[in-house]
Structures are given as C-alpha cells and as structure tokens.
Amino acid sequence: MPLVDMPLEELQTYRPPLTRRRDFGAFWTRTLRAAAAQPLRPALEAVAYPARGVRVRRASFDGFEGGRISGWLLEPEGAGRRPALVVYHGYSGRAPTLFHLLPWAGQGLVVLAVDCRGQNGGSTDGAVYPEGHRPGFMTQGILDKEAYYYRYVYADCVRAVDLAASLETVDASRLGVVGTSQGGGLGLAAAALAPKRVRVAAACVPFLCHYRRAVDLAEHPYREIADYIRAWPDRAEAVFETLSYFDNLNLADRIRARTLVSVGLWDLICPPSTVFAVANHMTCRKELAVYPCTGHEETDDWRERVFALVLSALAG
C-alpha cells in the first residue's frame, strides 16, 4: 500500500492551529452543567451468564436531553470498592460482547460498556434534529452546535462516567476509559470533559479528530460530511464551525489522564495526521503507539499494551 499521509518525521511534529471559537469553553461549561443537573435514573437488571466470580447486569440510564442509554455492567464478586473501566464502541456498532469484556472483570475491574444512542445497540436517541442529513450520524444537526448529534453523544459519555463513579462497587478515584475508532474518539472526549474523574485513557486509532483534514483525506464515515458539503457547498464553513466544538483537536489540552493513543500509518479511515494532530496538542502524560504497515485496526500488541497500562494505572 502506498503512503497515505505525511512521512513519519513530519507527523511527529505536526501541530496544526486549533479551530476553537471564542465561546468554546462557555459552550461546554453550559452543556456539562445541564448534563450534571439531569438525573441519571439508572436501572440495573440481572443477566444470567456462565462466568464464575462476576455479576453481570444490563445497565441503563437517561440519555442527555432524551433517549435511554443501555449497556453491560460487569462487577467482580466480593466486598470493597474497585477500579472501573468505561468502554465505548466503534461507529454504527454496539458495545463489545460480554465474552470480550470478561478479561477486565477477571482482573478485578468493574466494567461499564455502553451503546451509543441510535446506533446498533440498545440505546435510543430522543433528540429531534432541525432538518435532514446524509445517511449515518455525522451530519445530524450539523448546522447547529446545540442540536448536533455528537453534543448528545459526548454528554452521554460523560454521564456514563458519572454512573460508573456512583456505583457502590466502584472506587471513583480509579476510573478509566477505553475504545477503538469512534470509541477511541469518545474516550478522548470523555477524558477531556470529565478531567477530574478520568485517570487513564486508551484510544485506538481514534475517530472524531482534526475534522478539516479528515474530510479532505479519509473514507467513510468522514465521507458523510464531504457528501453533505457536496450537496450544500454554501454551507461548508457553517459545517466546520459546528464541528469545531466536537473536534478532539480542540479538546486535547483539557485531558489530564494518563493517555495511550495508537495510530496506523496505513489508516485510510482515521488518517495518521489526524491522530498525531490531537496527540501533539495533549499536555498530559501521554504515549503514542505507532504501527507501520497497519491500517484501521486493533493489533495484538495494542491489546497487550492497553491491558498492562490499565492494570498498572488503576489496579496496581
């Protein structure tokens, strides 16, 4: 496969200017206050599952300004409060299966894995968008930051962190977030928007990063934005203004967690420069795992690194 982006030497120093608008901080302060003021109304329903030493439940809570967010909750049996991990999933998918979450619970972590609203899991989207959009989720409410799809999703992700921290089985001072692709982008956003809660973050080939460059270079699902702009060329600047509020490029310097990020140098979905741009703006304790000849994927090496990081940072 040919080089899909900049040479590695350029990527390592690529630090494009931020695109934050003047009211960026005020927008997120207002949104997070509204999310915190809204009751979670959690519900936990027992699930029969043949795993020893782990209690499995279906968890749900109210989505931000509508809808109901659903997911899995795994709690190791035994007394005491434990570290917790919130898991986010890839675009248009759903939370990992219980089988794939068991290794974390087997190491003594409480695990909350949530489905994104309206995607392929059990969560519903109660938002009403002001007009139509391209197929998918990227352009729902794209002309209004207050009504944009990912405003609700990011707030839901923070509320998932709040739910995990509130559980009787959880030590709220030891909480982490992990995810791949969209899940990695959501993990970074959650770490940025809940910096006092999230202690460690691991984002594999993260999506939702450096939108302007991503739209120029990337395949689906960034292509949804390009298709929208193709249909409405006069709306291009309005689109990118809305996206600037949800770009991890502009959230990166808010992250305080110990952070591990992966990048595949052959990634056509989340091009390397979009990931490096965000990582290079982080001021937290961070590490970038760079994988040559690798596309948009988790590698076994990545899984081992995340496992070691989370256990050392939260359960050590």
Which position among 89, 210, 281, 296 bears the catalytic label?
Answer: 296
pLDDT in tens, 219-236: 899 999 999 999 999 999
Tokens of 308: 């070691």
Examine the residue annotation and report whether 181 is marked as an active-site residue of this protein: yes
Say what the pLDDT of residue 135 is.
95
Distance, in Å, from the CA atom of 186 to the CA atom of 197, rounded to the nearest integer, reads: 15
Is it the case that residue 76 has pLDDT exceeding 60?
A: yes
Say what the pLDDT of residue 2 is.
57
How large is the average pLDDT for residues 153-166? 98
Examine the residue annotation and report whether 296 is marked as an active-site residue of this protein: yes
Q: In three state form, how does the secondary structure of 132-177 look?
A: CCCCCCCCCCCCCHHHCHHHHHHHHHHHHHHHHHHCCCEEEEEEEE
Examine the residue annotation and report whether 267 is marked as an active-site residue of this protein: yes
Q: Taken in order 7, 8, 12, 15, is the CA torsion positive or negative?
A: positive
How large is the average pLDDT for residues 83-90? 98
- Which residue, among 147, 142, 162, 118, has the nearest Cα to 27 in the 3D structure? 147
Say what the pLDDT of residue 49 is.
96
The Cα diameter of the chain in Å comes to: 60
Measured CA angle at 152 (ends 149, 155), to 5 deg: 145
pLDDT in tens, 179-206: 999 999 999 999 999 999 999 999 999 9
Q: Where are the domains of the chain?
A: 8-311
Cβ–Cβ < 8 Å for 81, 53: no
CATH of domain 8-311: 3.40.50.1820
Helix/strand/coil for 200: strand
Q: What is the pTM of this model?
A: 0.98
Which position among 181, 244, 262, 273 bears the catalytic label?
Answer: 181
pLDDT in tens, 283-297: 999 999 999 999 999
Which position among 5, 267, 273, 281 bears the catalytic label?
Answer: 267
Query: How many of the other CB atoms lie within 10 Å of CB of 116?
Result: 30
Place of tokens 């030493």: 53
